Chain A
Amino acid sequence: MIDSRLLIIVFFFLLLWAPARISAAEDFLFRGQIVDTANKPVVGAEVYVFDSANVKRPADFISNRTGGDGYFRVELPLGHYWTMAIMRVSGASFGPLGKDDKHSGEPIEIDSAGKNELSKDFTVMDLREAARVNQKRSETVIKISGHILNDDGLPVGMAYVLADQQRKFGDMPQYLSTWTETDGSYVLFLPKGEFFIGASKDFPPKSDYSLSKKVGFANDTTGIDLIIPSQTSP
């Protein structure tokens, strides 16, 4: 015969333990921080949680909207999920994103197996920021751009930019741009450092050509306009 005191103990044990156990068995906490491409916390973002790889549909769970610290949390039933962070300028919680809205890209898979808490941070970005992040350029190279103009300030087509570390560079400078279109715009890629630069309509450049302008570049630079004197610009 079972001791009645034992039954009472078991009863109270179940009464106290069971709800906590049930909760721990079915839910886990998914939390983390949402930041932007400058690693700053993002306000007003949410994490969308899907129970299948098909994420082109309304989410199954959505976290709280982040505050100033960018932290989110959402309690989820145990399982395997696909997650992404989204920040909508409009504040809406559904529908397609506009061009200024930000998101974290491909869904991140998470699995609660053996855990009651899981942490994951997200970086959200809009299309323009994603383009910058995905740049394929060598870090040692910078991009210089501007226009080739004549004495009157008018754009010169079929010209190009030359750059070299020597004012008189011999047969050919180290760096060249492509031919300009009628708007005179050019792009030139250079290593960081100081260079003599100039512009010409002759290829190869004439043997007495010397680069007139000395400039130093440490970062991408726009608006570097170069003049071709009109007498060489028919």
Chain B
Amino acid sequence: MFRPISLIVNILLPLFLALPASGEVLSEDTQWQGEIELQEDILIPAGVTLSVAPGTTVRIQPSENTRIDPEYMSHRTEILVRGTLQINGTGGDRVVFSSSSDDKSAYWAGIIVDGGQATINHTDLSKADAAVTVMGGRAVLSNSFIKESHYGLVAQSHKAALNLHNTVVEKNDYGILLLDEPLFDSDEKSIIRDNSKNDLFSAVSSGAVLTEQKYETPIAPLSATYRDEALPDYTVWKGRVLVDGQLRLPPESRLVIMPGTIIEFTKKDTNNDGIGENGLQVQGLIIAKGTPEKPIIFRSAEKVRSMGDWDSINILGSDLAQNIIEYCQIEDGYRGLHFHYSNVAVNKTILRNNYRGAQFQESLVSISNSQFYGNKSGIQTRDSEVAFNNNEIFHNLNGANFFRLNLQAADNIFANNNGEGLRIREGTSVLDRNLLAGNRMGLLVADAVYGSFNGNVMSGNLESGLLVRNSDHIEITGNAIQANGLNGISLRDTRAAISNNLINANGERGIGIISFDGIINNNNIVDNGLYGVGLEGSEDIDATSNWWGESDLDKEIYDTNDEPGLGRVNYAERRIAPLSFVWPLRNITSDTIWAGAIRVDELLTINKGTTLTVRPGVISEFSTEESGLLVYGTLKAAGKKDARIFFTSTAKAGSSDWLGIQLERATGSVMANCDFSYADYGLHIHFVPMEISGCRFINNDLGIRFRSGPIKLSRSLFSQNRIGIRAMRGNMDIFENEISNNEIGVFVREGGKGLKIYRNNFSNNERYNLRLGDFNKDDVDARHNWWGTDQPQEMIFDGHQESYIGIARFEPFLHAPLELNIKPPGKGEGGRE
């Protein structure tokens, strides 16, 4: 049968197998002098020095390409330094690096130092996206000018060092960005001034807490060795396989790799570019089906394994069945996975320490439950149909780059990448419930004509959480966009509907607008550093029906009222109460801040190492019996007397409407001035030292249940619960609380010797003020309380009723209630609107 795709593939195959890098990799020490016209990227590898002679002028073509080869960093033309760059300008013979275009916005990428050393003397650098970026290694600038660039100088990560001597950084958009605590020093002669947006901006990302998984497989004896050859129709691999060449799997043939197999590739670098060429070229079908117990490993065969030792698992024109890569670990490659015109499923696979984890185009691809970490770039794809679900893309220099995809992406984490977490250009994209945290930029959407971004969390990114430019028909709904260094959302040349989002605690603007046509309605926009909405363009903006907290909107909004010539942000009518924002994710894996009103529909887990901060005044509603908070990290809910925090149910029908808040070794948690109602348990505390004060526990099955401690519980109200406080082997000081109208005030299940119950008011509890359980053998210290009666024993169940139970030591006791002044909730308090 004639297949057009086969024809295309056969034409492309020779190119595909030996695809050269688009730039130039310097293979030996090199010197530039005179006039240099640079049209392609330059890579200075480790061990190689590029020297630039005095008086040299370098003009760089500012092309922006959709294709980046894995060893490069930018879409624009770049000089990438992994070795040494020595620029030797002098006072009389300066060196110039600039764009070859007269267009002011046509930037070249700049000099990027990735583990190398750049020494820059008497040099003028201009018209770059970032004149010098240090991602690792060191850049030393002396007697230089950095100007007319988007970013002047950027140093990112604690592995980066930037030193300035008598250097001027001026007339850029941003002067110097110091991200994630690089080493930086600048002498007193250096000047940073007149940069339009910021002279010096520094930020530390707040990323996700993720674990780099790693598969291990026992080493087996070598079972097969292959060189430059083709496999037969049907091949099964098991044990350990050595590939010492380019191994081809012809069309119509199949390769099945059994669980537990290790495939090792030797390094062959014929063009001396530092990148190995051995790999797999699959035109047939590959089934690499590992299991959790017996994963499959693809890696370098070298004694010291390095990134780029081998090429890739290339799959080309294989779309008549689904190629399967499951429970595999692919490391040390140039492109771990690389396919064109193919149908591939990648599941439970780890792609690490590759120049690029995966790259593909014109393919039908499912990638799920996989990790991409420690690669120069995590994944880059184009012109494909992609289901991308439940993956983690983190600790890469660049995260994910999707061009012209038909994309469905849900439940992924794009975190802690030096560049964008996710970059989408053109295509049809639907993104639901993803976390984009701790990247330099969370999500960048460019040139798209369709896009739905719903229920994602974009937080703690160094610059913007979401940047949309030159895009149309974009829907941005139900997202939490918070705690990003600059703007929550940045909009340029975009038409979109922005609604039902929580946009809070961003460093500068909640929404920064250069040009925008659309609506910004029904969002909660609060606690942003400079402005809720900052307008830099002349068009008017519809931003009605948003909740802005208590802000003075003259100050919260930057528009024509602040600078004539700008458009007007129309915010009337403003909402007087927050909208209920439905928290979209099931896990909190990065630091999170709740503001306004939050609704939770399921059991939300706060992972170890992360903090959920609940701002004063927040109303948190839980909508199902299974909903609640399970805290392994830290929960900080410090309400104020005049701005209490509410944890309650949506229905407010009765106790056990929702589960409650469970704290498991959640050290550092804080609870003050909070209300807990209609829960199975308001608080369920295991092994957490903490203080709880000023709280109210009403209409729960159990107000508080706890084990261990130590806990200080004070100035709180327990009312209308089945049991106010339930202790089990607890260490708690319970003092100055109002414990009334419960079925049982305090129940000590067992191990009550660590309790001190004093100076509380007990009253009107239906069965007992204090009930010691059948398993409690200890006496309990309960002196100096008012028991609502002069006969306290009548309302206490202890060893007086059952001899094997401990005794409640309640004498001496108070004969009148304490003036605690703890008020019950007022009518309508904690409700919305």
Q: How far is the CB of B123 from chain A (nearest CB, A)?
A: 37
Q: Which residues in A have their C-beta under 8 angstroms from that of B408? A: 131
Whether the pair A141, B320 counts as a contact (CB closer than 8 A) is: yes
Known: A96-B496, A127-B428. Contact between A189 and B348, CB under 8 A?
Answer: no
Q: Which residues in B have their C-beta under 8 angstroms from that of A135? A: 364, 385, 406
Q: How far is the CB of A44 from chain B (nearest CB, A)?
A: 17
Interface residues of B in 310-332 (CB under 8 A from A): 319-322, 324, 326-327
Q: How far is the CA of A140 from the CA of B3 in the complex (A)?
A: 10
Q: How far is the CB of B503 from chain A (nearest CB, A)?
A: 17
Q: How far is the CA of A58 from the CA of B473 in the complex (A)?
A: 13
Whether the pair B470, A189 counts as a contact (CB closer than 8 A) is: no
Known: A56-B515, A57-B539, A137-B319. Contact between A204 and B258, CB under 8 A?
Answer: yes
Q: How far is the CA of A54 from the CA of B236 in the complex (A)?
A: 56
Q: Which residues in A have their C-beta under 8 angstroms from that of B366? A: 178, 187
Q: Which residues in B have their C-beta under 8 angstroms from that of A171? A: 234, 236
Whether the pair B428, A134 counts as a contact (CB closer than 8 A) is: yes
Whether the pair B319, A141 counts as a contact (CB closer than 8 A) is: yes
Q: How far is the CA of A137 from the CA of B363 in the complex (A)?
A: 7
Please tell me if B609 contacts chain A, counting CB pairs below 8 Å: no
User: Nearest residue in B to A105 (C-beta to C-beta)?
Assistant: B449
Known: A97-B473, A98-B475. Contact between A56 and B319, CB under 8 A?
Answer: no
Q: How far is the CB of B159 from chain A (nearest CB, A)?
A: 38
Q: Which residues in A have their C-beta under 8 angstroms from that of B430? A: 127, 131
Whether the pair A179, B497 counts as a contact (CB closer than 8 A) is: no
Q: Which residues in A have their C-beta under 8 angstroms from that of B327? A: 179
Q: Which residues in A have their C-beta under 8 angstroms from that of B281? A: none
Could you say which of A55, A58, A98 contacts B472, with CB atoms under 8 Å apart?
Answer: A55
Could you say which of A136, A176, A177, A190 contacts B364, with CB atoms under 8 Å apart?
Answer: A136
Please tell me if A234 contacts chain B, counting CB pairs below 8 Å: no
Q: How far is the CA of A137 from the CA of B236 in the complex (A)?
A: 27
Q: Which residues in B have their C-beta under 8 angstroms from that of A179? A: 289, 291, 326-327, 347-348
Q: How far is the CA of A134 from the CA of B517 in the complex (A)?
A: 27
Please tell me if A17 contacts chain B, counting CB pairs below 8 Å: no
Could you say which of A56, A97, A134 contacts B494, with CB atoms under 8 Å apart?
Answer: A56
Q: Which residues in A have their C-beta under 8 angstroms from that of B362? A: 136
Q: How far is the CA of A171 from the CA of B233 in the complex (A)?
A: 13
Whether the pair B289, A136 counts as a contact (CB closer than 8 A) is: no
Q: How far is the CA of A181 from the CA of B362 in the complex (A)?
A: 27
Please tell me if B479 contacts chain A, counting CB pairs below 8 Å: no
Please tell me if A191 contacts chain B, counting CB pairs below 8 Å: yes
Known: A56-B471, A96-B495. Contact between A137 and B450, CB under 8 A?
Answer: no
Q: How far is the CA of A126 from the CA of B321 in the complex (A)?
A: 29
Q: How far is the CA of A68 from the CA of B256 in the complex (A)?
A: 56
Q: Is the interface of B mostly helix, strand, loop or mixed?
A: strand
Whether the pair B497, A96 counts as a contact (CB closer than 8 A) is: yes
Q: How far is the CB of B227 from chain A (nearest CB, A)?
A: 25
Whether the pair A178, B343 counts as a contact (CB closer than 8 A) is: no
Please tell me if A99 contacts chain B, counting CB pairs below 8 Å: yes
User: Nearest residue in B to A58 (C-beta to C-beta)?
Assistant: B517
Q: How far is the CB of A142 from chain B (nearest CB, A)?
A: 11
Most B C-beta atoms less than 10 A away, residue of A56, A101, A127, A179? A56
Please tell me if A103 contacts chain B, counting CB pairs below 8 Å: yes
User: Nearest residue in B to A125 (C-beta to C-beta)?
Assistant: B450
Q: How far is the CA of A190 from the CA of B321 in the complex (A)?
A: 6
Could you say which of B320, B326, B345, B383 contacts A191, with CB atoms under 8 Å apart?
Answer: B320
Please tell me if A208 contacts chain B, counting CB pairs below 8 Å: no
Please tell me if A64 contacts chain B, counting CB pairs below 8 Å: no
Q: How far is the CA of A177 from the CA of B321 in the complex (A)?
A: 10
What is the size, in residues, of chain B's interface with A at 8 Å between Cβ atoms?
56
Could you say which of B321, B383, B497 contacts A174, with CB atoms under 8 Å apart?
Answer: B321
Could you say which of A101, A136, A140 contacts B383, with CB atoms under 8 Å apart?
Answer: A136
Q: Which residues in A have their C-beta under 8 angstroms from that of B517? A: 56-58, 95-96
Q: Which residues in B have their C-beta under 8 angstroms from that of A176? A: 287, 289, 322, 324
Whether the pair B539, A127 counts as a contact (CB closer than 8 A) is: no
Q: Which residues in B have their C-beta under 8 angstroms from that of A136? A: 362-364, 383-385, 406
Please tell me if A227 contacts chain B, counting CB pairs below 8 Å: no
Please tell me if B12 contacts chain A, counting CB pairs below 8 Å: no
Known: A99-B475, A105-B449. Contact between A178 and B256, CB under 8 A?
Answer: no
Known: A96-B473, A179-B348, A203-B289. Contact between A189 and B539, CB under 8 A?
Answer: no
Q: Which residues in B have their C-beta under 8 angstroms from that of A232? A: none
User: Nearest residue in A to B259 (C-beta to C-beta)?
Assistant: A203
Q: How far is the CB of B9 from chain A (nearest CB, A)?
A: 12
Q: How far is the CB of A163 from chain B (nearest CB, A)?
A: 9
User: Nearest residue in A to B491 (C-beta to C-beta)?
Assistant: A56
Q: Which residues in B have their C-beta under 8 angstroms from that of A110? A: none
Q: How far is the CB of A202 from chain B (nearest CB, A)?
A: 10
Could you say which of A158, A189, A203 contacts B322, with CB atoms under 8 Å apart?
Answer: A189
User: Nearest residue in B to A136 (C-beta to C-beta)?
Assistant: B385
Whether the pair A96, B474 counts as a contact (CB closer than 8 A) is: yes
Contact with B along A29-41 (1 / 0, CB 8 A): 0000000000000
Contact with A along B484-516 (1 / 0, CB 8 A): 000000000111110000000000000000011
Q: How far is the CA of A178 from the CA of B324 in the complex (A)?
A: 7
Contact with B along A163-193 (1 / 0, CB 8 A): 0000000011011111101000001111100
Q: Which residues in B have their C-beta under 8 angstroms from that of A106? A: 449
Please tell me if B529 contacts chain A, counting CB pairs below 8 Å: no
Q: Which residues in B have their C-beta under 8 angstroms from that of A57? A: 495, 515, 517, 539
Please tell me if A4 contacts chain B, counting CB pairs below 8 Å: no
Most B C-beta atoms less than 10 A away, residue of A138, A174, A204? A138
Q: How far is the CB of A93 from chain B (nearest CB, A)?
A: 13
Q: Which residues in B have their C-beta under 8 angstroms from that of A172? A: 234, 236, 254, 256, 287
Whether the pair A130, B343 counts as a contact (CB closer than 8 A) is: no
Q: Which residues in A have their C-beta under 8 angstroms from that of B493? A: 54, 56
Whether the pair B452, A95 counts as a contact (CB closer than 8 A) is: no
User: Nearest residue in B to A171 (C-beta to C-beta)?
Assistant: B236
Q: Which residues in B have their C-beta under 8 angstroms from that of A187? A: 345, 366
Please tell me if B519 contacts chain A, counting CB pairs below 8 Å: yes
Contact with A along B416-435 (1 / 0, CB 8 A): 00000000000110100000
Known: A58-B517, A136-B363. Contact between A141 and B291, CB under 8 A?
Answer: no
Whether the pair A127, B452 counts as a contact (CB closer than 8 A) is: yes
Most A C-beta atoms less than 10 A away, residue of B259, B450, B470? B450
Q: How far is the CA of A131 from the CA of B327 in the complex (A)?
A: 29
Q: How far is the CA of A200 from the CA of B605 in the complex (A)?
A: 34
Q: Which residues in B have their C-beta under 8 angstroms from that of A178? A: 324, 326, 345, 347, 366
Known: A56-B472, A172-B256. Contact between A96 and B518, CB under 8 A?
Answer: yes
Please tell me if B820 contacts chain A, counting CB pairs below 8 Å: no
Q: Which residues in B have their C-beta under 8 angstroms from that of A190? A: 321
Q: How far is the CA of A190 from the CA of B324 in the complex (A)?
A: 14
Whether the pair A138, B326 counts as a contact (CB closer than 8 A) is: no
Known: A58-B517, A127-B428, A204-B258. Contact between A141 and B343, CB under 8 A?
Answer: yes
Contact with A along B1-44 (1 / 0, CB 8 A): 00001000000000000000000000000000000000000000
Q: How far is the CB of B296 from chain A (nearest CB, A)?
A: 12
Whether the pair B449, A134 counts as a contact (CB closer than 8 A) is: no
Known: A56-B493, A106-B449, A179-B347. Contact between A95 and B326, CB under 8 A?
Answer: no
Q: Which residues in A have their C-beta under 8 angstroms from that of B236? A: 171-172
Q: Which residues in A have their C-beta under 8 angstroms from that of B259? A: 203
User: Nearest residue in B to A160 (C-beta to C-beta)?
Assistant: B289
Q: How far is the CA of A134 from the CA of B258 in the complex (A)?
A: 35
Q: How far is the CA of A172 from the CA of B256 in the complex (A)?
A: 9
Q: A56-B471, A95-B497, A189-B322 are in contact. List 12 more A-B contacts (CB 8 A).
A: A57-B515, A95-B518, A95-B519, A96-B473, A127-B430, A141-B320, A172-B236, A179-B291, A179-B348, A191-B320, A203-B289, A203-B291
Interface residues of chain A, those whose CB is within 8 Å of chain B, are 54-58, 95-99, 101, 103, 105-106, 127, 130-131, 134-138, 140-141, 158, 160, 171-172, 174-179, 181, 187-191, 203-204
Q: List 13 A-B contacts (CB under 8 A).
A: A56-B470, A57-B495, A96-B474, A96-B475, A96-B495, A130-B428, A138-B320, A138-B364, A141-B319, A160-B289, A175-B321, A175-B322, A179-B289
